[in-house]
């Protein structure tokens, strides 16, 4: 089973994925590392200071990697702010724009990059794209939770999916988190 862990930069994807790997034994593929390792990009966006991902080649490389190295029935988590373009099932990590801004400032992002990401979170950009591209979408509010708690919630979601109990996950369905009122004051 292939599940994406996605969200705006700063919502906790990488930290939580590390916990999901060490505490729960999930295999994690960091899509951004894969893009760099296998040069699965078609240039650099100098304005945004990032690589331009080649989604078609990423998908093919990811499938090849999974086919070669995955045991039958194993759950593989693809961690990236782009994983919703690759997987059919995705868990979107969310954080309030105010908290997200503080997290991104600690990373020394440029003011423009911070504003772009905060605005994307406030406008549900990754959630909307996930709903558009994926069959199953869940969201987790990471704003005031410790990474270990977030990992517990994600593990709960994954177990419910694997056991065919997605109906028990209504509290994680898209639409439960809305930052628009706070952002547009």
Residues flagged as binding site:
10, 12-15, 107
Pairing between β-strand 41-45 and β-strand 50-53 as defined by DSSP bridges: antiparallel
- Find out whether 105 and 71 touch, Cβ atoms under 8 Å: no
d(CA 72, CA 108): 41
What is the Cα gyration radius of the chain?
Answer: 16
Residue 23 in tokens:
């505490």
Which candidate, 7, 162, 184, places its Cα nearest to that of 91? 7
Q: Which residues make up each annotated binding site for ATP? A: 10, 12-15, 107
3-class DSSP state for residue 150? Answer: helix
SS3 for 156?
A: helix
- Are 89 and 2 a contacting pair, CB within 8 Å? yes
């Amino acid at each position: 089973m292939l599940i994406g862990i996605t969200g705006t930069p700063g919502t906790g994807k990488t930290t939580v994925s590390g916990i999901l790997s060490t505490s729960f034994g999930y295999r994690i593929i960091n899509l951004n590392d894969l893009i760099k390792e296998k040069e699965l990009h078609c240039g650099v966006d100098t304005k945004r200071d990032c690589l331009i991902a080649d989604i078609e080649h990423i998908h093919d490389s990811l499938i090849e990697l999974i086919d070669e190295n995955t045991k039958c029935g194993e759950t593989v988590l693809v961690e990236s702010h782009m994983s919703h373009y690759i997987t059919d099932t995705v868990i979107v990590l969310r954080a309030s724009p105010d908290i997200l801004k503080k997290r991104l400032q600690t990373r020394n992002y440029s003011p423009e990059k911070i504003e772009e990401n905060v605005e994307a979170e406030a406008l549900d950009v990754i959630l909307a794209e996930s709903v558009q591209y994926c069959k199953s979408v869940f969201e987790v509010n990471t704003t005031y939770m410790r990474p270990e708690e977030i990992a517990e919630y994600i593990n709960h979601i994954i177990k419910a999916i694997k056991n065919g109990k997605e109906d028990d996950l209504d509290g994680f369905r898209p639409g439960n988190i809305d930052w628009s009122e706070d952002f547009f004051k």
